[in-house]
Amino acid sequence: MIGGRVSQYHDITVPVSPDTPSWPGDAAAVIEPSARIGAGSSCNLSRMCFGSHAGTHVDAPFHFLPDGKKLEEMPLDALIGPCWVAD
């Protein structure tokens, strides 16, 4: 509850796949199997490689400001609140 009214939370996360749009100049996301049960491994495991601008992400102040905070220095509640979602 925020300000006496019930709040709704919406997960707007875009899944990462080879088709996920990336920032111009960044390589496309690559997801490849590195272990498979069917091939004798004890688990299924994948290797993922993609740029930090792929899919849903947050640019920390450090991305634009030399002395800006890095994500690990920011409180989680700084990322929760009202927003505008563009499609």
Catalytic residue among 10, 53, 57, 63: 63
Residue appearing with tokens 């509850």? 1
Contact present, 63 and 52 (Cβ < 8 Å) = no
* Cα(43)–Cα(23) distance, integer angstroms: 32
Residue type, 33: P
Mark whether 57 is an active-site residue.
no
Catalytic residue positions?
A: 63
